[in-house]
């Protein structure tokens, strides 16, 4: 067993802890909120990095999967099912504990799904959506794939905007906290800020472990061969369609999980989460991170999302991401943190140092 | 109003939007044929053309020009500037890339569309604007066999027919048009024949931009122009281009009218808000069943690079 591939995760773990301590010491713990949100967005980016960077398939609809996850969970945990309380099905769900009774902010009694059940249903639902959309779409290439996934995202946005149960143009608010095990709870309550920070990064680390194992497995090698040359991969007996579809579903599920967690953390979700601009933003982050560079994507995602959430770019937010996208693709299509180029530079510098050393001795 | 009148009413509405979609699709096709790129910023050409025309029009009316000459001058100016923008985009972002991958080009044109859209929102703000009607006013209507349509509808359909005819003649009979078609067939072979392929690519961006600007001006009095409408036009135009088979401009006209009619009749069954979802659903359906398009040949499309 090769443990080397897990070293970066240990490093990340240390950075997460050091970061929290640093913020606590400097009295800037309010940054934890944006860091937590950035962590959840990073999960979407990790899934997309797998799809774009390793399988070589673009998706401009991942905000759609994020929204499916978030909205399913939000509706199930806020919609009051007590109007259906006479239905035997709802009563059955109530007895087995899938539906629980809780109080809202104003003390009104609500009958809603428990967050854990809602989470599972949301992930299942988005996986089903990914299968339904993935089977026809994943056989497409290039422009067709880009437009088809873009179209999927636009449909999800249109459905949300037109459906009153989903809040139409308004966000769904007062989504309850999501109680995990050991009394941990995903919610925006200020005293829970530090545990929530660790929960979010815990989820990121789980996602990373899954990805790293996948990349170093038979499936990962198959994916890279598909990216290299799909026809050649096919001729070697790799079922390219199946691998691409699995990756598509996995990345969609990552996006949905991120959507569920962020919705519970923020306590709300709005239609802007499903916008095409969000999907493009995820792609931009993957592009800056260097496509097939998991750690580059994670780093860039945290930095850019954090800056964007803090409002550093102001009203130029979208234009910044658009400009980043163009600049990256024009001048450094392999990403900022391009390993091969970094190695080349190191060799160049070493060569120069050696030359100088020779001159000095001569 | 009896039922046949209503059907006729929907028919004209479908014809109107359909002809605009066809023009957008032809814009896609012209660039695709010479470069192999789908220009995701095509929809923004419509909007920037319309917004420029609106600004010039109000400026010219302000300095005292009478209505009709001001409108014509404004549209001509807007089309010229949009053409220049098209050329500038090609020059700055596309021309100097050596063998770029499709993924890279997609991402670049998406980036361009975002920057253009946001740029427009800074210049014109997020309000909705409209050009004045080319003839008559908002209230004027013409009765045709029981359906009442705006004169602007006739303008839109007329302009689109005119553009399609001009393009057909241009590609069929002029030397430049023939050279561009040669690039579409095979870029390497065309350059070996002494055709300046780079120039043809720039030209294709200019023609697409001009087409977009003109279509944007024509639809502006009815649809009311807003900085973020471009992507909707782009997706519909792309759907039409796919229905006709990517690269086939004449089939795009048929596809455009088809999609326009489906869309306008869908309003009678489904809520208005789902109209966009319907046409994108059609896109997904066609992509999954027959990606070569309704009028395209499978063998032919297998040879093309997407």
Residue B123 contacts A, CB cutoff 8 Å? no
Whether residue A319 lies within 8 A of chain B, CB to CB, comes out as yes
What is the distance in angstroms between the Cα of B119 and the nearest Cα belonging to chain A? 8
Contact B283 A151 (CB under 8 A): yes
With an 8 Å Cβ cutoff, is B299 touching chain A?
no
Q: Which of A50-54, A73-77, A198-202, B248-252 has the lowest mean pLDDT?
A: B248-252
A155–B277 CB contact, under 8 Å: yes
pLDDT score of B260 more than 80:
yes
Q: Which range among A15-19, A46-50, A190-194, B3-7 has the greatest average pLDDT? A: A46-50
Q: Do B283 and A277 touch (CB under 8 A)?
A: no
- Please tell me the predicted confidence (pLDDT) of residue A41: 93
Of B104, B117, B271, the CB nearest to A162: B271
pLDDT category at A260 given cuts 50, 70, 90 is: very high
Angstroms from A64 CA to nearest CA on chain B = 13
Residue A51 in tokens? 């799809």
Q: Between A154, A162, A323, which is nearest B273 by CB?
A: A162
Angle (deg, nearest 10), helices A294-309 and A31-49: 140
Among residues of chain A, what percentage have pLDDT more than 90? 18
- Is the pLDDT score of B274 beyond 80? no
Contacts 24+ apart (CB under 8 A), B262-270: B262/B14, B263/B14, B263/B17, B263/B18, B264/B10, B264/B11, B264/B13, B264/B14, B264/B17, B265/B10, B265/B14, B267/B10, B268/B6, B268/B10
Q: Does B107 touch chain A (CB under 8 A)?
A: yes
Mean pLDDT on A49-58 = 86
Mean pLDDT, rounded, for A189-193: 77
Inter-chain CB proximity B108 and A280 less than 8 Å: no
Q: Does B163 touch chain A if contact means CB atoms closer than 8 Å?
A: no
Determine the pLDDT at residue B81. Answer: 95
**Mean pLDDT over the full length of chain A:** 84
| Bridge pairing between strands A109-113 and A99-103 | antiparallel
**Closest-CA residue in chain A for B278?**
A155
CA-CA distances (angstroms) from residue A213 to A1, A206, A279, A331, A351? 12, 11, 26, 31, 36
Spatial contact of A43 and A211, defined as CB atoms under 8 Å apart: no
Q: Is a pLDDT exceeding 60 seen at residue B302?
A: no
For position B59, which CATH number holds? 1.10.3470
pLDDT digits (tens, 9 = 90+) for B17-34: 899 999 999 998 888 888
**Interface contact flag, B93 A326, Cβ < 8 Å:** yes
Q: Give B85's pLDDT tier (boundaries 50, 70, 90).
A: very high
Indicate the pTM of the whole model.
0.85
Chain-chain contact of A142 with B102 (C-beta, under 8 angstroms) = yes
Measured between CB atoms, does A282 come within 8 Å of chain B?
no
- Is B102 in Cβ contact with A141 (below 8 Å)? yes
Residues in chain B closer than 8 A to A159 (CB atoms): 274, 277
pLDDT value at B300 more than 60: no
Does A257 have pLDDT greater than 90?
Answer: yes
Distance CA B124, CA B259 (A): 31
Cβ distance B101 to A323 less than 8 Å, yes or no, reads no
The reply to whether B233 touches chain A by the CB within 8 Å rule is no
Contact across the interface for A287 and B107, Cβ inside 8 Å:
yes
Average per-residue pLDDT in chain B?
Answer: 84
pLDDT at A55: 84
Query: What proportion of chain B, given as a percentage, has pLDDT over 90?
Result: 19
pLDDT tens-place string over residues B63-79: 877 778 888 899 999 99
Judged against a pLDDT cut of 80, whether residue A88 lies above it is answered with: no
In chain A, how many H helices and how many E strands?
14, 4
B201 Cα to chain A: minimum distance (Å): 18
Question: Could you tell me the maximum CA-CA distance found in chain A, to the nearest angstrom?
Answer: 96
Q: Enumerate the residues of chain A whose CB falls inside 8 A of the CB of residue B242.
A: 144, 147
Please compute the mean of the pLDDT values over residues B141-168 and round it to a whole number: 84
Domain count, chain B: 1
B127 interfacial to chain A (CB closer than 8 Å): no
DSSP state of B131: P
Chain B residues within an 8 Å CB radius of A152: 280, 284
Please name which of B153, B117, B113, B116 lies closest in space to residue B133, comparing C-alpha atoms.
B153
CB A46 within 8 Å of CB A254? yes
Q: Is the pLDDT of residue A201 over 50?
A: yes
pLDDT at A222: 86
Residue A337: pLDDT band with limits 50, 70, 90: low
**Confidence label for A340 from pLDDT (cuts 50, 70 and 90):** low
Q: B300 or B225, which is more confident?
A: B225
Q: What is the pLDDT of residues A23-49, one digit of tens each?
A: 888 887 788 888 999 999 999 999 999
Is the pLDDT score of B51 beyond 90? yes
A320: contact with B, CB 8 A cutoff: no
- CA distance linking residue B266 with residue B275, whole number of Å: 7
pLDDT tier at A2, thresholds 50, 70, 90:
low
Q: A102 has which bridge partners?
A: A110
Contact A141 B306 (CB under 8 A): yes
pLDDT of residue B299: 56
Binary contact (B106, A146; C-beta < 8 A): yes
Collect all residues of chain A within an 8 Å Cβ-Cβ radius of residue B108.
325-326, 329-330
What is the Rg, in whole angstroms, of the alpha carbon atoms belonging to chain A? Answer: 22
- pLDDT confidence of residue B306: 44
Nearest-CA residue of chain A relative to B114? A322
* DSSP per-residue letters across B157-206: HHHHHHHHHHHHHHHHHSHHHHHHHHHHH-HHHHHHTT--HHHHHHHHHH
Neighbouring C-alpha atoms within 13 Å toward the C-beta of A16: 24
Given B103, B119, B277, which is nearest A159 (Cβ)? B277
B218 has pLDDT over 70: yes
Instruction: Name the pLDDT band for A263 (thresholds 50, 70, 90).
Output: very high
| Whether B101 contacts chain A with CB within 8 A | yes
The whole-number average pLDDT for the span A300-323 is 84
Q: Do A158 and B274 touch (CB under 8 A)?
A: yes
Is B103 an 8 Å CB contact of chain A?
Answer: yes
d(CA A110, CA A213): 43
When pLDDT is averaged across residues B107-122 and rounded to a whole number, the result is 89
Give the pLDDT band of residue A121 (cuts 50, 70, 90): very high
Residue in A closest to B284 by C-alpha: A148
Does A131 contact chain B (CB < 8 Å)? no
pLDDT digits (tens, 9 = 90+) for A122-163: 999 999 999 988 888 888 877 788 888 888 888 898 888 888
User: Which structural domain, as residue segments, surrounds residue B137?
Assistant: 3-303
* Per-residue model confidence (pLDDT) at position A204: 93
pLDDT, residue A154, reads 86
The answer to whether the beta carbons of residues A57 and A285 sit under 8 Å apart is no
Mutation pick from A281, A329, A333 vs chain B, by most beta carbons of B within 10 Å, is A329
């Amino acid at each position: 067993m090769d443990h080397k591939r897990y070293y970066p995760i240990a490093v990340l773990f240390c950075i997460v802890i050091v970061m929290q301590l640093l913020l606590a010491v400097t009295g800037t713990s309010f940054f934890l909120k944006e860091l937590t949100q950035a962590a959840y967005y990073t999960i979407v980016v990790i899934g997309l990095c797998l799809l774009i960077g390793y399988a070589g398939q673009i998706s401009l609809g991942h905000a759609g999967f994020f929204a499916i996850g978030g909205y399913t969970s939000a509706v199930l945990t806020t919609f009051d099912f007590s109007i259906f309380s006479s239905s035997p099905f709802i009563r059955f769900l109530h007895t087995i504990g899938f539906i629980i009774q809780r109080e809202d902010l104003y003390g009104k009694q609500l009958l809603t799904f428990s967050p854990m059940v809602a989470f599972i249903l949301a992930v299942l639902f988005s996986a089903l959506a990914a299968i339904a959309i993935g089977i026809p779409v994943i056989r497409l290439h290039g422009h067709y794939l880009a437009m088809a996934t873009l179209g999927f995202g636009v449909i999800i946005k249109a459905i949300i905007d037109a459906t009153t149960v989903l809040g139409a143009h308004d966000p769904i608010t007062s989504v309850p906290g999501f109680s995990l095990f050991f009394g941990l709870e995903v919610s925006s309550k200020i005293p829970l800020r530090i545990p929530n920070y660790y929960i979010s990064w815990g989820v990121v680390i789980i996602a990373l472990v899954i990805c790293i194992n996948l990349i170093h497995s038979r499936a990962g090698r198959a994916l890279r061969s598909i990216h290299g040359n799909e026809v050649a991969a096919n001729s070697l007996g790799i079922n390219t369609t199946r691998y691409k579809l699995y990756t598509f579903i996995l990345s969609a599920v990552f996006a949905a999980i991120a959507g569920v967690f962020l919705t519970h953390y923020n306590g709300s979700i709005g239609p802007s989460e499903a916008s095409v601009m969000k999907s493009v933003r995820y792609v931009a982050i993957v592009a800056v991170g260097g496509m097939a560079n998991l750690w580059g994507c994670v780093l860039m995602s945290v930095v850019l999302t954090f800056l964007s959430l803090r409002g550093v770019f102001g009203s130029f937010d979208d234009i910044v991401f658009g400009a980043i996208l163009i600049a990256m693709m024009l001048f450094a299509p392999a990403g900022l943190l391009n390993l091969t180029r970094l190695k080349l530079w190191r060799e160049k510098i070493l060569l120069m140092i050696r030359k100088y050393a020779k001159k000095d001795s001569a | 109003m009896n039922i046949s009148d209503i059907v006729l009413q929907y028919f004209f509405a479908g014809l109107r939007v359909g002809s605009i979609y066809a023009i957008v699709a032809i814009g896609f096709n012209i660039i695709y044929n010479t470069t192999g790129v789908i220009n995701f910023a095509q929809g923004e050409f419509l909007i920037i053309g319309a917004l420029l025309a609106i600004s010039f029009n109000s400026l010219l009316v302000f300095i005292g020009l009478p209505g009709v000459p001001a409108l014509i001058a404004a549209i001509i100016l807007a089309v010229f500037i949009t053409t220049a923008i098209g050329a500038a985009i090609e020059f700055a972002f596309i021309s100097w890339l050596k063998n770029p991958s499709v993924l890279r080009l997609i991402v670049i044109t998406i980036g361009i569309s975002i920057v253009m859209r946001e740029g427009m929102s800074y210049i014109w703000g997020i309000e909705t604007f409209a050009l004045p009607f080319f003839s008559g006013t908002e209230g004027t209507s013409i009765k045709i066999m029981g359906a009442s349509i705006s004169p602007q509808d006739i303008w839109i359909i007329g302009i689109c027919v005119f553009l399609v005819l001009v393009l057909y003649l241009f590609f069929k009979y002029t030397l430049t048009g023939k050279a561009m078609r040669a690039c579409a067939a095979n870029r390497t072979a065309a350059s070996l024949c002494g055709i300046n392929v780079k120039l043809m690519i720039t030209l294709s961006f200019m023609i697409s931009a001009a087409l977009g600007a003109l279509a944007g001006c024509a639809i502006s009095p009815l649809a009311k122009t807003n900085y973020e409408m471009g992507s909707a036009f782009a997706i519909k135009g792309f759907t039409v281009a796919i229905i006709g088979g990517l690269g086939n401009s004449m089939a795009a006209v048929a596809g455009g009218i088809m999609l326009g009619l489906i869309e306008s009749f869908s309003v009678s069954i489904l809520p208005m808000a789902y109209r966009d979802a319907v046409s994108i659903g059609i896109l997904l359906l066609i992509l999954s069943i027959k990606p070569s398009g309704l009028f395209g040949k499978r063998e032919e499309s297998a040879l093309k690079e997407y």
